[in-house]
Structure 1
């Protein structure tokens, strides 16, 4: 089935046959981005901001979605996706090379799975995980 992104509505895909629309929630797009980022060697964890952490501590959270979307912010505007990621990387990996791989992986996953154009994948490194000494 050919898909055409409806540029007039955010997060909507209209099929070419005119059977209807499919709305993709921002959290779903964020989950895809988060899972793709975690598949890259050298990425240790997705990291949320202080507001997310505090909300989680007082129980304001959707546990399934939050675990996969922690550290991911997605904006969908006129069929174009912009992604911001906050990552913790593993010690010993080249930061620039790892981030380039994350950007490519996230862009590819989102474009393949949603049909949206990805304008940018911005990454903020918030920490380095040291290896455990055993």
Structure 2
């Protein structure tokens, strides 16, 4: 996948943002939505890879359109449509606020519902150990 390029007429040049950056913003925003239990990898290769930054999040850029697919497990008892719409809103807002990139479509794929008695994973377990460090 190629880099996401953002150009402004008043700027001094192009701003190039790696798709992994957008995936990471999306993953963190989606994981923080109430009712989301965890993100889920779609492909087997993603599960065995060392980098887990944007797992469960896939960004596609075609021409001038950016599409995000998010695969999630939800907590039992939540309204699936409400959680999905909240995820779409939060993801679009966070990506726009942090990178000035407008996401055209946010597709939510609910992979399963997790029973109430299953403990929710710690937020830090969703990413690599050094990912959340402020270095």
Bigger Rg over Cα = 1
Q: How large is the Cα RMSD of the aligned pairs?
A: 2.2
Equivalent residue in structure 2 for 1:115, among 100, 117, 130: 100
Equivalent of residue 6 in structure 2, options 9, 13, 16: 13
- TM-score relative to the length of structure 2: 0.76
- Displacement, 1:114? 1.7
**Residue 61 of structure 1: which of 43, 47, 50 is its match?**
50
Deviations 1:25-84 (A, max 9, x none): 111101111111111100010000242355x1xxx432xxx2x31111101234432100
Q: Secondary structure at the match of 2:111?
A: strand
1:102 match: 87
Q: Distance in 2 between matches of 1:50 and 1:11?
A: 22
Structure 1 residue ranges without an equivalent (≥5): 1-8
CA distance in 2, matches of 1:35, 1:93: 20
2:111 corresponds to: 126
**Higher strand share goes to which structure?**
1
What's 1:4 paired with? none
**Structure 2: 5+ residue stretches without partners:** 120-135
* Residues 46 and 55 in structure 2, CA contact (< 8 A), matched pair in contact too: no
Deviating above 2 A after TM superposition, structure 1's stretches of 4 or more consecutive aligned residues are: 13-22, 76-80
Bigger share in helix: 1
Secondary structure in 2 aligned to 1:125?
A: strand
